[in-house]
């Protein structure tokens, strides 16, 4: 089982120097200075202890004492997952049942591709197939009809059937792909004429579903020793572009392990032309992939120090994620095949990869490991919502030398999108205030400011407030709240109220409109918790909370560029350059702008850390019902392990090449929870006489995702 630890870097007291060193990592402190080398070492068979192998005068400033480094660890004897946990998949659960098609001894490997509605084509190695052929084939072919658990296999003859050879000295299919009616195949263990070298791979293609094959006059050697095609669905219909992608462990043999996975692409109508292949050559400074026609310039898309072997990658279209499956070698093992399995996901083929599942003992029978290999998730057997998949594989023990399938069920992290929230049930928001999951609702329809004021516990500068007839287009209401700030007269006003008795997770939705002449806003809408709760907002600017008395998050249109971001105070804050701890921002994308002159739907989710000792708190921002993504990762939803990025003082900058976000420890006591809403307009530097108008409407606080107003009349 996988677990995660937080390593505190900053103490000059070294940990005990004993045990076996695993993979070293190097980090720099947020203030710069010399790098800090960090290693994790196994101390005893039942305990893993972190130690600083070398702390080279890392600068320690006031407010900087913690660097949170997410490392995957397990009890002694188990392997360390190479990537942080998935930000999308909370859990993968395997069915206990192994579903088999055909008899024991029918073959192994089973690369597969979806050809037509009910038809998949697969290939097997070193077996007699579904129809018990004689002799056994090193390379044979079959058709698969139906879906688990009710499917069947049927062998068919091909001019590529290969009876001779066996093991590493007989060609075997490593990848199959159907593209616009053409079937492509890569074989491994290929021996060029006049050579005794079986560590090569070669391409073939068929226009009659595998009955007859044409062979390329070129082959891969030295790398791409076990090439597999990326699968995108039936006959390649779900492809995201006009290229075919090929991946492989980065060595020349399917019987060894490489730490790396390499990637090539080729136009889908020129797969047979070696001169059209390009190889992934790394990411540029903006996180975009670069490609080279020179194979020697290839760079890995994935690395596991425990090794990878006979990998497969398939695209789960409903989830918008690639799923990578690979065997690895448990620590100390030198076996060709193991019972180990890793499952990883990513938004793009080049990452950033995260861990869905990682276990040294995935396949067990009668208490013993069963060696398995060439695992893959056929796209035909993915459910419409992407949450159910079936893993195809084969093995050497426990009766698994056959076409074996096991069901996988995914638990998805809830990051709801527009149309799936509470508002979808209420036409134009009518009656949403009566929903059992709604805590508070304010639509300013009472008819007077006194009536509005009665629903809030603390109101300042009510004289800048008025009721306006300007409302969101989809709203059923006729009034909104207008705050009109005049430069030189005041700093704005607010409405504040408690949300008692307090909650562990809440969603806050409001509509806002900024006048085109509105001056930049210093602070805006805030939510959070006080312990004890107070009927007025508390102070604390520039001061890091202790963890038992307060935390806050603002949703703010930052500065002159009006970019949406969080502004958060919590016990895990870093220091600002001046030594204080000012509110932290996290999204840092100027493209996420607050557009003036139009109504905008803003929604914030906050989730408390539970238990209070953990850093598993979260916060999410939706603008007009949409999460914000950049460089292949969602950056407006932050939690333990996601997104990746880099801290620069008190500002988190999302970056797919950075470290996983450490999560929020909002509190260190369960007595502190979410218990207030603060509707704030705070402007401090507007020129004298400048009028800044901001409208608010259709505020809802709920236990579930709310979403934008449903514009339908039904």
Quick: pLDDT tens for 187-222.
999 999 999 999 999 999 999 999 999 999 999 998
pLDDT at 657: 82
Q: Average pLDDT, stretch 684-688? A: 96
> HSE on the CB side for 10, CA within 13 Å?
16
Q: Which of 121, 135, 114, 143 is nearest to 238 (CA)?
A: 114
Strands 563-569 and 629-630: what pairing?
A: unpaired
CB of 163 closer than 8 Å to CB of 137 = yes
**Eight-state DSSP code of residue 270:** -
Q: Among residues 456, 515, 443, 455, which one has the least CA distance to residue 486?
A: 515
- The confidence score (pLDDT) of residue 256 equals 94
Q: Mean pLDDT across the chain, nearest whole number?
A: 88
Q: How far is CA 302 from the centre of its chain?
A: 15
Contacts of 451 (CB under 8 A, 6+ apart): none
* pLDDT mean over 342-367: 94
Query: Of 661, 650, 656, 651, which is closest to residue 618 (Cα–Cα)?
Result: 661
Distance, CA of 84 to CA of 60 (rounded, Å): 27
Cα–Cα distance measured from residue 545 to residue 334, given in angstroms and rounded to the nearest whole number: 51
- pLDDT > 70 in the chain, percent: 88
Burial of 595 (0-12, 13-18, 19+ CB in 10 A): middle
Task: Provide the residue count of the chain.
Answer: 714
- pLDDT for 713 equals 76
Q: What is the DSSP letter of 434?
A: G
Model confidence at 529: pLDDT above 90? yes
Cβ distance 265 to 250 under 8 Å?
no
Around Cβ 590, how many Cβ atoms within 10 Å?
11
Per-residue pLDDT, averaged over 64-82, amounts to 52
pLDDT digits (tens, 9 = 90+) for 93-152: 999 999 999 999 999 999 999 999 999 999 999 999 999 888 899 999 999 999 999 999
pLDDT of residue 113: 98
Q: Is pLDDT above 50 for 44?
A: no
Alpha-carbon gap, residue 578 to 685, rounded angstroms: 21
- Work out the average pLDDT over 547-573: 97
Q: Which residues pair with 326 in a beta bridge?
A: 342
Pairing of strands 20-21, 618-623: unpaired
Structure tokens that stand for 525 in this block: 């809408």
Rg (CA), the chain: 29
List, in order of start, the domains of the chain with CATH numbers: 3-73 (no CATH), 89-412 (2.115.10), 422-702 (2.60.120.200)
| Contact assessment for residue 620 and residue 636, using Cβ atoms and an 8 Å cutoff | yes
Q: How confident is the model at residue 526, as a pLDDT?
A: 98
Angle at 21 between CA 16 and CA 24, to 5 degrees: 105
Poorest-pLDDT segment among 37-41, 373-377, 476-480:
37-41
Query: What pLDDT, on a 0 to 100 scale, did the predictor assign at position 188?
Result: 97
- The most confident of 87-91, 168-172, 526-530, by mean pLDDT: 526-530
Q: For the chain, give the percent of residues with pLDDT over 90.
A: 79
* Cα distance between residue 665 and residue 612, in whole Å: 7
CA gap 249, 251 in Å, rounded: 6
């Amino acid at each position: 089982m996988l677990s995660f630890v937080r390593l505190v870097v900053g103490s000059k007291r070294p940990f005990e120097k004993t045990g076996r060193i695993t993979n070293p990592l190097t980090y720099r402190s947020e203030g710069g200075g010399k790098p800090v080398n960090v290693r994790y070492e196994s101390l005893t068979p039942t305990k893993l202890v972190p130690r600083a192998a070398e702390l080279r005068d890392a600068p320690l400033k006031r407010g900087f004492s913690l660097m949170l480094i997410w490392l995957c660890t397990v009890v002694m004897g188990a392997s360390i997952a190479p990537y942080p946990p998935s930000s999308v998949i909370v859990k993968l659960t395997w069915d206990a049942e192994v579903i088999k098609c055909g008899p024991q001894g029918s073959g192994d490997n089973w690369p597969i591709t979806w050809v037509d509605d009910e038809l998949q084509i697969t290939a097997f190695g070193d077996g007699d197939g579904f129809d018990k052929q004689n002799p056994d084939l090193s390379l044979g072919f079959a058709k698969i009809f139906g879906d688990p658990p009710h499917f069947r296999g049927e062998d068919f003859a091909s001019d590529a059937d290969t009876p001779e050879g066996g093991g590493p000295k007989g060609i075997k299919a490593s990848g199959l792909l159907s593209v616009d009616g053409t079937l492509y195949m890569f074989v491994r263990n290929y021996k060029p004429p006049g050579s005794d070298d079986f560590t090569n791979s070669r391409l073939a293609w068929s226009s009659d579903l595998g009955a007859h094959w044409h062979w390329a006059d070129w082959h891969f050697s030295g790398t791409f020793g076990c090439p597999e095609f990326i699968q995108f669905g039936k006959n390649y219909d779900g492809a995201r572009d006009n290229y075919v992608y090929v991946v492989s462990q980065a060595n020349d043999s399917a019987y060894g392990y490489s730490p790396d996975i390499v990637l090539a692409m080729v136009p889908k109508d020129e797969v047979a032309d070696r001169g059209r292949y390009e190889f992934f050559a790394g990411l540029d400074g903006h996180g975009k992939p670069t490609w080279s026609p020179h194979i020697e310039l290839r760079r890995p898309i994935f690395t596991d120090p425990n090794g990878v072997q006979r990998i497969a990658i398939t695209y789960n279209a409903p989830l918008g994620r690639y799923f990578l499956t690979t065997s690895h070698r448990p620590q100390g093992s030198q076996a060709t095949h193991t019972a180990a399995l890793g499952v990883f996901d990513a938004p793009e083929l080049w990452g950033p990869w995260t861990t869905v599942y990682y276990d040294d003992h995935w396949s067990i029978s009668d208490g013993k490991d069963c060696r398995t290999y060439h695992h893959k998730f056929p796209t035909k057997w993915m459910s419409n919502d992407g949450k159910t998949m079936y893993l195809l594989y084969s093995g050497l023990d426990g009766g698994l030398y056959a076409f074996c399938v096991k069901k996988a069920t995914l638990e998805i992290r809830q990051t709801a999108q527009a149309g799936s929230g509470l508002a979808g049930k209420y036409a134009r928001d009518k009656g949403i205030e009566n929903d059992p999951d709604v805590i508070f609702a304010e639509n300013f329809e009472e008819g007077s400011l006194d009536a509005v004021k009665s629903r809030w516990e603390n109101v300042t500068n009510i004289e800048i407030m008025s009721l306006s007839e300007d409302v969101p287009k989809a709203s059923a209401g006729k009034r909104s709240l207008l705050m009109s700030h005049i430069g030189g007269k005041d700093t704005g006003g607010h409405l504040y109220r408690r949300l008692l008795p307090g909650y562990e997770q809440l969603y806050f939705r409001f509509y806002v409109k900024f006048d085109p002449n509105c001056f930049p806003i210093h602070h805006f809408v805030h939510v959070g918790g006080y312990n004890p709760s107070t009927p007025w907002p508390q102070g604390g600017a520039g001061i890091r909370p202790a963890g038992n008395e307060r935390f806050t998050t603002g949703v703010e249109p930052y500065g002159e560029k009006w970019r949406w971001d969080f502004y958060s105070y919590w016990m895990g804050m870093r220091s600002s350059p001046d030594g204080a701890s000012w509110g932290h921002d996290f999204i840092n994308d100027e493209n996420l702008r607050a557009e003036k002159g139009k109504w905008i739907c803003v929604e914030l989710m906050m989730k408390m850390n539970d238990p209070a000792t953990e850093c598993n708190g979260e916060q999410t921002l939706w603008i007009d019902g949409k999460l914000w993504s950049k460089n292949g990762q969602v950056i407006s939803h932050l939690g333990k392990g996601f997104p990746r990025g880099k801290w620069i003082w008190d500002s988190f900058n999302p970056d797919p090449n950075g470290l996983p976000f450490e999560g929020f420890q909002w509190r260190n006591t369960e007595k502190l929870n979410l218990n207030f809403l603060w509707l704030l307009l705070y402007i401090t530097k507007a020129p004298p006489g400048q009028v800044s108008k901001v409208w608010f409407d259709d505020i809802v606080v709920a236990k579930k995702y709310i979403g934008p107003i449903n514009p339908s009349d039904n």
